[in-house]
């Protein structure tokens, strides 16, 4: 079996690095958060693992590694991972797709229930010492539209369908799934998204950020939504036109929004989302379970075993498409 050297872009104090050293005993691993940390090992490196490094560091280290055979990103989203040299390189890139999907599916279901049962009103009344009965909405029979039917989208469908909800979805290659997925009633093409959105009670954005999806949900989409619709974003912030969303929420054109991702993170002080009563705001941590980092490292270790045994890697990214 060949000898491999793994470079890990991470603070050397990260606790998950101990898992790597234990599970891959005998494999040379070098962790660091600067280019200098890798200068002596770069020539021999066959694997580059971006655990938590910046795009600038990732790009610089990639540039000094002439013998790479595989690059892996802990993150699912790749808008801060892809750069021209990597895109043009034949070296395969994989990501953490699937590792965090279950938690995001659960967050979506929780957000649906939050608005349907008006938990904010319950909490507000409890804090004020007010006894006030009110009507709530069922979710059974309601329609969820998923923008981006990948691994996260499938995790969402798998959780809302057993609740009696109908599922529609937008997918880039709609024809490949039509009639083939029992969770989804209909798959729409991206250019048909307004038709789908107009039918939905909950619109869930789970698409990656690419040149095609940036600003995909904007003013025309909000105009098409039901006034009772709720928008949920567990994909990437810029897929939604944030100003248009804030306007629709402020003017009561839609019922509400549950947001885990934003144009700028942390969300700047004074942003209108902080004050809007019809927004449920999560600081990009909907998938941060107690073991989320451990799971991300376990996935890489499993991937590495496939790599050194010559088995096909999982989650190989189409670098031109960006996912």
For range 143-166, the mean pLDDT: 98
Contacts (Cβ under 8 Å, ≥6 apart) of 191: none
Quote the pLDDT of residue 2. Answer: 65
In a domain, 203, yes or no: yes
Q: Sorting pLDDT into bands at 50, 70 and 90, what band is 179?
A: low
In a domain, 212, yes or no: yes
- Same domain for 228 and 255, yes or no, is yes
Quote the pLDDT of residue 170. Answer: 98
Q: Sorting pLDDT into bands at 50, 70 and 90, what band is 182?
A: confident
Quote the pLDDT of residue 273. Answer: 98
In a domain, 10, yes or no: yes
Residue-wise pLDDT tens digits, 53-63: 999 999 999 99
For range 121-135, the mean pLDDT: 98
Residue 169 structural domain: 101-281
Q: Sorting pLDDT into bands at 50, 70 and 90, what band is 79?
A: confident
For range 33-51, the mean pLDDT: 97
Q: Give pTM, 2 decimals.
A: 0.94
Mean confidence (pLDDT) of the chain: 96
DSSP E strand boundaries for 160-235: 166-170, 186-188, 202-205, 230-233
Phi, then psi, of 229 in degrees rounded to 5:
-75, 150
- Same domain for 203 and 129, yes or no, is yes
For range 79-96, the mean pLDDT: 94
- Same domain for 109 and 44, yes or no, is no
**CATH code (residue 225):** 3.40.50.720
What is the Cα–Cα distance from 183 to 111, expressed in whole angstroms? 20
In a domain, 323, yes or no: no
Quote the pLDDT of residue 178. Answer: 52
Residue-wise pLDDT tens digits, 93-124: 999 999 999 999 999 999 999 999 999 999 99
What is the Cα–Cα distance from 164 to 139, expressed in whole angstroms? 7
- CA dist list (Å): 312 to 20, 70, 147, 192, 317: 21, 12, 29, 35, 13
- Same domain for 176 and 51, yes or no, is no
Q: Are 160 and 113 in contact (CB under 8 A)?
A: no
What is the Cα–Cα distance from 232 to 259, expressed in whole angstroms? 6
- Same domain for 143 and 244, yes or no, is yes
What tokens does 204 get? 């869930």
Percent of the chain with pLDDT over 90: 92
- Same domain for 200 and 140, yes or no, is yes
Q: Sorting pLDDT into bands at 50, 70 and 90, what band is 173?
A: confident
- Same domain for 136 and 215, yes or no, is yes
- Same domain for 108 and 226, yes or no, is yes
Residue-wise pLDDT tens digits, 289-323: 999 999 999 999 999 999 999 999 999 999 999 89
Quote the pLDDT of residue 3. Answer: 82
Quote the pLDDT of residue 25. Answer: 87
- Same domain for 105 and 92, yes or no, is no
In a domain, 321, yes or no: no
In a domain, 317, yes or no: no
- Same domain for 131 and 84, yes or no, is no
Residue-wise pLDDT tens digits, 222-237: 999 999 999 999 999 9
- Same domain for 92 and 112, yes or no, is no
Percent of the chain with pLDDT over 70: 97
| Total domains in the fold of the chain | 2
- Same domain for 95 and 118, yes or no, is no
The span from the first CA to the last CA of the chain, in angstroms, equals 31
In a domain, 183, yes or no: yes
In a domain, 316, yes or no: no
What is the Cα–Cα distance from 315 to 208, expressed in whole angstroms? 14
């Amino acid at each position: 079996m060949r000898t491999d050297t793994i470079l890990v872009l991470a603070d050397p104090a990260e606790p998950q690095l101990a898992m790597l050293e234990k599970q891959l005993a005998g494999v040379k691993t070098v962790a660091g958060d600067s280019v200098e940390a890798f200068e002596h090992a770069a020539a021999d490196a066959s694997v580059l693992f971006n655990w938590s490094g910046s795009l600038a560091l990732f790009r610089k280290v990639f540039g000094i590694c002439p013998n790479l055979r595989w690059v892996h990103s802990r993150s699912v989203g790749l808008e801060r991972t892809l750069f021209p040299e990597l895109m043009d390189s034949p070296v395969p890139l994989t990501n953490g797709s699937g590792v965090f999907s279950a938690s995001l599916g659960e967050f979506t279901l929780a957000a649906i229930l939050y608005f349907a049962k008006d938990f904010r009103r319950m909490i507000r009344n409890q804090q004020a010492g007010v006894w006030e009965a009110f009507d709530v909405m069922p979710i059974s029979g309601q329609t969820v539209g998923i923008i981006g039917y990948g691994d996260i989208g499938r995790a969402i469908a798998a959780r809302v369908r057993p609740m009696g909800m109908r599922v529609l979805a937008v997918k880039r290659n709609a024809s490949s799934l039509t009639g083939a997925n029992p969770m989804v009633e209909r798959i729409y093409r991206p250019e048909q998204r307004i038709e789908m959105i107009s039918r939905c009670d909950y619109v869930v954005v789970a698409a990656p950020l690419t040149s095609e999806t940036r600003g995909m949900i904007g003013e025309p989409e909000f105009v098409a939504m039901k006034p009772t619709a709720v928008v949920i974003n567990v994909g990437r912030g810029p897929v939604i036109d944030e100003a248009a969303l804030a306007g629709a929420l402020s003017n009561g054109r839609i019922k509400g929004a549950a947001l885990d991702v934003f144009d700028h993170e942390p969300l700047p002080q004074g942003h209108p989302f902080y004050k809007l009563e019809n927004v449920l705001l999560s600081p990009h941590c909907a998938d941060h379970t107690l073991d989320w980092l451990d799971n991300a490292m376990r996935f890489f270790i499993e991937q590495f075993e496939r790599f050194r045994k010559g088995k096909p890697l999982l989650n190989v990214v189409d670098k031109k498409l960006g996912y």
